Structure 1
Amino acid sequence: MITPDYCRLMARYNAWQNRQIEKALQAVSLEDLKADHGAFFGSILGTLNHLVWADQMWMSRFDRKFEKPEVGVKGSTELFPTLGAWSAERFRMDGVLSRWAAELHAIDLTGSFSFYSGSVGCEVSRPIAPCVIHMFNHQTHHRGQLHAMMTKTGLEAPVTDLFLMPDEE
């Protein structure tokens, strides 16, 4: 279904998108970052925080050496109180995702695995490949919300087209 190369590409795309978002938001006030825009996680900063939380959660499932977040989904929007704090953890998580993808083998993306899902409140067993795809799709989904919030507030939202990602940065 998917390959380690797909995961490496998506991890690189994720990091590229996050760097662009951070750069675009550096001059934005904390008040504006925390303003409620009616998105699923409310604000720009809340959505950024949720994305880090979700990546931490999925990495704790895919790589059992990685610790899961201390808070559940409801607390995910409050993890980092400033863009700077978010940025430091985002940089670290992008490295974690990249290292995880770099070390994948095709066999790692086959078969099922089980994990506890707080969203549905029970143990879940699923094929791993669709779960990996979901992690990357989840990132893209919420970055789409960020793009809309940024555009709504008059900010220049970053380029999101995968085919325009630079070969190497």
Structure 2
Amino acid sequence: MSEHIDSLNDLQIMARYNRWANQRLYDCVATLSDDEYRLDRSAFFGSIHATLNHILVGDRVWTSRVIGEYSGIKSLDEILHDDFAALKSARTAMDEHIVRLVDRLSVGLDGGLNGEVRYRSLAGGPKHASPARHVFLTLFNHQTHHRGQIHCMLTQAGCENPPALDVIIMLREFADSDQTI
């Protein structure tokens, strides 16, 4: 591994992994026709389009909770961007936001990764509190879960080579090219 990769903690690596995986996934999705992109494939959120929006919804909800702001999200199936280009741009911005936020917390700023995040589910109910590190584990796991669904839908759409999305592949790519992540 490169010295830079070894100097990061696991959540920092996961933040960079998510940025990398989302870029690869969006690049593949961009090759689909609009009809294939929006086709209801009987997945939990229906289409690739709706599932990509849902991932962004989840990220907005969780990151807003971490920084103590209101997300403005009303439902988990909210369509934030109907246009693919706008959704991709918002995804890129969110991925950069997640990397910066995890980096800040990793060095102890803004309460650090053990800082308590207070929140209530979108459905209401009791208040909850979790360390920021657990919030990010949830966010990363949520993305991975839904990227897997999209990967399956890409296969259904006839994509011959859906992208490999394993963390170890990203780590090897960056180590082999001596890029910074």
Give the TM interval when normalised to the shorter protein.
Answer: 0.7 to 0.9
Q: 1:149 aligns with which of 132, 148, 153?
A: 153
C-alpha distance in 1, partners of 2:37/2:113?
37
C-alpha distance in 2, partners of 1:86/1:24?
14
C-alpha distance in 1, partners of 2:134/2:101?
17
Offset at residue 149 of structure 1 (A): 0.6
Output the amino acid matched with 1:71: K
Whether 2:71 is the aligned partner of 1:68: answer yes
2:4 is matched with which residue?
none
Residues 13 and 89 of structure 1, relative CA distance in 2, 3 Å threshold = same
Residues 129 and 101 of structure 1, relative CA distance in 2, 3 Å threshold = closer
Output the amino acid matched with 2:48: I
CA RMSD in angstroms, aligned pairs only: 1.9
Residues 129 and 82 of structure 1, relative CA distance in 2, 3 Å threshold = same
Offset at residue 126 of structure 1 (A): 2.8
Kindly, what percent of the aligned residue pairs are identical?
32
Runs of 4+ in 1 over 3 A off after TM superposition: 119-122
Match of 1:74, SS state, is: coil
2:39 is matched with which residue?
35
1:21 is matched with which residue?
25
Q: How does 1:93-104 map to 2 (within 5 A)?
A: 93-104=94-105
Unaligned runs of 5+ in 1: none
Unaligned runs of 5+ in 2: 1-7
C-alpha distance in 2, partners of 1:18/1:128?
22
1:159 is matched with which residue?
164
Whether 2:132 is the aligned partner of 1:128: answer yes
Offset at residue 71 of structure 1 (A): 2.9
TM (norm. structure 2) is: 0.82
The structure whose Rg is larger is: 2
Q: How does 1:45-124 map to 2 (within 5 A)?
A: 45-64=49-68, 67-75=70-78, 78-104=79-105, 105=107, 108-110=112-114, 112-119=116-123, 121-124=125-128
Match of 1:121, SS state, is: strand
Moved more, 107-116 or 32-41: 107-116
Residue deviations 1:52-101, cap 9 Å, x none?
1111111101112x5513432132xx211121111110011011011111
Q: 1:137 aligns with which of 132, 141, 161?
A: 141
Q: 1:5 aligns with which of 1, 6, 9?
A: 9
Match of 2:119, SS state, is: strand
C-alpha distance in 2, partners of 1:127/1:96?
19
TM (norm. structure 1) is: 0.87
